[in-house]
Amino acid sequence: MIFNRTPAKKKAKELAKYLRTERPDYAYLKRVFQHLRDELEIEVSKASKRLPYVPTEDEIKRYYHVVWQAKN
């Protein structure tokens, strides 16, 4: 499906013209866009929170051994 959308930068300029009289701050704009997402029924996807990889003690030892052997 192909959408014929206004470029985001152009749409932002249009919205800025409209909102400028409100003298918005970050918190106000955040709330406006939260309500806009509700009105348009847009769900915010959340990235899964994965723990970082932690190397084993043996892997760490091998790493330092290779670094020590390289001496550069």
**Per-residue pLDDT reduced to its tens digit, 5-60:** 899 999 999 999 999 999 999 999 999 999 999 999 999 888 888 888 999 999 99
pLDDT surpasses 70 at 72: no
* Per-residue pLDDT at 1 exceeds 80: no
pLDDT at 35: 95
Query: In 3D, which of 49, 15, 46, 48 has the Cα closest to residue 32?
Result: 15
Domain membership of residue 56 (yes or no) is no
* DSSP summary character for residue 4: -
Which residues span the domain enclosing 29? Answer: 7-44
pTM score, whole prediction: 0.54
Give the per-residue pLDDT at 9.
95
Q: Is residue 35 part of a domain?
A: yes
Does residue 16 belong to any structural domain of this protein? yes
> CB–CB of 32/24 below 8 Å?
yes
For the record, the structure tokens of 46 come out as 């959340």
Is 23 inside a domain boundary?
Answer: yes
As for how many domains the chain has, the answer is: 1
Residue 69, in any domain of the structure:
no
Q: Is residue 24 part of a domain?
A: yes
- The answer to the question of residue 49 being in a domain is no
